[in-house]
Amino acid sequence: MYGEDASREQSELERTAFRKAERKYKFYYDDSSKSSKKKKRPKPVDLTEVLDFKAISSSFCRDENLPPGIVALSGGFHHPVFCLDSRPGFYFIPGALSIEEQCHWIRESLTSFPEPPNRTNHNAIYGPIHELFDATIERKVLVEEENAVTSFASEPGCFERKESTRRWRFSEENSARLRGNGGKSVLASVLLRKLRWSTLGLQFDWSKRNYDVSLPHNKIPDALCELAKQMAATAMPTGEEFKPEAAIVNYFGLGDTLGGHLDDMEADWSRPIVSMSLGCKAIFLLGGKSREDVPVAMFLRSGDIVLMAGEARECFHGVPRIFTDKEGAEIDPLESHLLHEGNNHFVDYIRSSRININIRQVF
Ligand SMILES: O=C(O)CCC(=O)C(=O)O
């Protein structure tokens, strides 16, 4: 589509109810304030319409009061589970993960989950990267190196041939600078900040928007499978067990968003997507089956779990905002726990980041 048609379609998209909500909550700097460039403040945003399941859960546990349109599931689960009348198949479990569990999954998300054969957004440019988090701590630099490879052709009359291949390797910062080979280099800390996703289990191919079963992969770690099965039980058809086959880990920094989308590449939508939040608080938008439906906005905090099954699988959803300011992020207990464990590097990361792990049954 070209020219006028494309720009008309773009501006129509801009006008959908979902897009309007995304723009309402998105992070912008406040241009109106006279603050200096260094002290730019976030533009204030009206949060009065954002559902707060933490507050809903506290008041429900106190006196069983619930706002209109919200129901609490009774069942064997040891946490209250809330549903929305308007979005069947959507479940919210506030504070489902203990602080210890949150810390554990943050550490895994930054160390083992991005390890090959799991793929990340960096694969396309740098190929597989090993031990990115350690390299960040050690202030390493990823350097592009040229390797001369000598190959011997098997045909008679052909001689040895020098081929040059390029690959990226971590190097000490000083030695990279000393070598000054004119090649490209990038700080490990920059790569960590730019880490946007990693995929576990069956690998999702973003370019084809599908699972590529031919790609090498490891099984999802047992502990994550167990957790997902336990959480998914609430939303599963009676007598059936959730089979975790793939997971996408999303990493968000200040200003990062996840645009409105559907997760529609799994075979059976009666199986839930199990989605857990770690780190800074965020806003989640749950729309309807059309982008024209006005989405419900809600806070997602570290330790919350969301399930989307059945009809809710057909609903557009996204994350227009994460809160990295001291009060807004609401991660004090998490920070204290990580500091207590001596995990300062994880604290540095999570202070301004959010991680989402969403686990799927593919077939
Ligand atoms: O970050 C989140 O909470 C939502 C993630 C999501 O919607 C997705 O990965 O499809």
What's the gap in Å between 302 CA and the centre of ligand 1? 14
Which residues does residue 318 pair with via DSSP β-bridges, in sequence order? 285
Q: Supply 134's token pair.
A: 């350690």
pLDDT by residue (tens digit) across 50-94? 999 999 999 999 999 999 999 999 766 678 999 999 999 999 999
Q: Which residues form ligand 1's pocket by a CB distance below 6 Å?
A: 248, 250, 258, 263, 275, 277, 284, 300, 317, 319, 356, 358
Cα distances (Å, whole numbers) of residue 90 to 12, 17, 54, 243: 28, 20, 16, 19
Last residue of a domain, which of 142, 157, 189? Answer: 189
Distance (Å, rounded) from C-alpha 120 to C-alpha 129?
Answer: 9
Closest CA to 335 of 357, 322, 358, 353: 353
**105 C-alpha to ligand 1 centroid (Å):** 16
Same domain, yes or no, for 330 and 181?
no
Q: Tell me what the mean pLDDT of segment 16-39 comes to.
A: 84
Beta bridge partner(s), residue 55: none
Annotated binding site for Fe cation: 261, 263, 317
Co-location of 136 and 93 in the same domain? no
Pocket test for ligand 1, best of 321, 358, 359 (most atoms within 8 A of CB): 358
Burial class of 305 by CB neighbour count within 10 A (0 to 12, 13 to 18, 19+): buried
Residues 238 and 266 grouped into a single domain: yes
- Rounded CA-CA distance 114/76 in Å is 35
For residue 266, the surrounding DSSP H or E stretch is none
> What is the mean predicted confidence (pLDDT) over 268-288?
98
Q: Which atom of ligand 1 has the smallest separation from the CA of 317?
A: 7
Instruction: Quote the number of domains for the chain.
Output: 2
Q: Is the domain of 215 the same as that of 75?
A: yes
How sure is the predictor about 197, in pLDDT bands with cuts at 50, 70 and 90? very high
The token pair at 215 is 């790609």
Query: How many angstroms separate the CA atoms of 284 and 317, rounded?
Result: 7
Strand partners, 355: 251, 278
Name the residue with the closest Cα to ligand 1, atom 1. 356
CATH of the domain at 102: 2.60.120.590
Residues 206 and 273 in one domain: yes
Tell me, yes or no, whether 229 and 270 share the same domain: yes
Within this chain, do residues 344 and 257 fall inside the same structural domain, yes or no? Answer: yes
Compute the distance from residue 40 Cα to the ligand 1 centre, in Å: 28
Residue whose CA lies nearest to ligand 1 atom number 2 = 356
**Beta strand 353-360 with 296-300: parallel, antiparallel or unpaired?**
unpaired
Q: To test the ligand 1 pocket, which listed residue (211, 252, 258) has its Cβ within 8 A of the most ligand atoms?
A: 258
Do the Cβ atoms of 358 and 278 come closer than 8 Å? no
Question: Looking at the structure, do residues 185 and 200 belong to the same domain, yes or no?
Answer: no
Residue at 236 is within a domain: yes
pTM: 0.90
Q: Are residues 183 and 307 in the same domain?
A: no
SS3 (DSSP) at 359: strand
Other Cβ atoms within 10 Å of 191 Cβ, number = 24
d(CA 148, CA 261): 45
- Contact between 361 and 245 (Cβ < 8 Å): yes
Q: Is the peptide bond before 116 cis (omega within 30 degrees of 0)?
A: no
Pick the atom of ligand 1 nearest to 248's CA: 9
pLDDT, tens digit (0-9, with 9 covering 90-100), for 301-339: 999 999 999 999 999 999 999 999 888 999 999 999 999
Ligand 1 atom, smallest distance to 354 CA: 1
Query: Rounded to whole angstroms, how far apart are CA atoms 301 and 277?
Result: 6
Measured CA to CA in angstroms, residue 115 lies from 127, 128, 139, 324, 342 at distances of 12, 8, 18, 26, 23
Specify whether 218 is located in the same domain as 338.
yes
pLDDT at position 162 is 55
**Residues 20-34: what's their mean pLDDT?**
88
Exposure string of 108-147, with b = 16+ CB inside 10 Å and e = fewer, is: bbbeebbbeebbbbbbeebeebeebbebbeeebbbbeeee
In the prediction, which pLDDT does 157 show? 46
The answer to the question of residue 319 being in a domain is: yes
Predicted confidence (pLDDT) at residue 149 exceeds the cutoff of 60: no
Of 17-21, 33-37, 213-217, 239-243, the poorest mean pLDDT is in: 33-37
Helix (H, G, I), strand (E, B) or coil at 330: coil
- For a mutational test of ligand 1's pocket, the pick from 25, 250, 262, i.e. the residue with the most ligand atoms closer than 8 A to its C-beta, is 250
> Containing domain of residue 136, as a range?
129-189
CA distance 25 to 44: 9
CB 192 within 8 A of CB 355: no
Are 66 and 205 contained in the same domain? yes
CA of 360 to the centre of ligand 1 (A): 12
Ligand 1 atom closest to the Cα of residue 358 is: 9
Ligand 1 centroid distance, CA of 304 (Å): 13
For the chain, give the percent of residues with pLDDT over 90: 77
pLDDT in tens, 153-164: 454 444 455 555
* CA-proximal residue: ligand 1, atom 8 (nearest): 358
Poorest-confidence range of 104-113, 179-188, 272-281, 341-350?
Answer: 179-188
Beta-sheet strands, E only, within the chain: 70-73, 81-84, 90-93, 119-120, 141-152, 160-171, 185-187, 197-201, 204-205, 210-211, 246-253, 258-261, 273-279, 282-286, 296-300, 305-308, 317-322, 353-360
Residue 301 to residue 276: CA distance in whole angstroms: 9
What confidence tens digit (pLDDT) does each residue in 228-254 have? 999 999 999 999 999 999 999 999 999
DSSP structure class, residue 280: S
Q: What is the mean pLDDT of the chain?
A: 90
User: Measured from the CA of 263, which atom of ligand 1 is nearest?
Assistant: 10
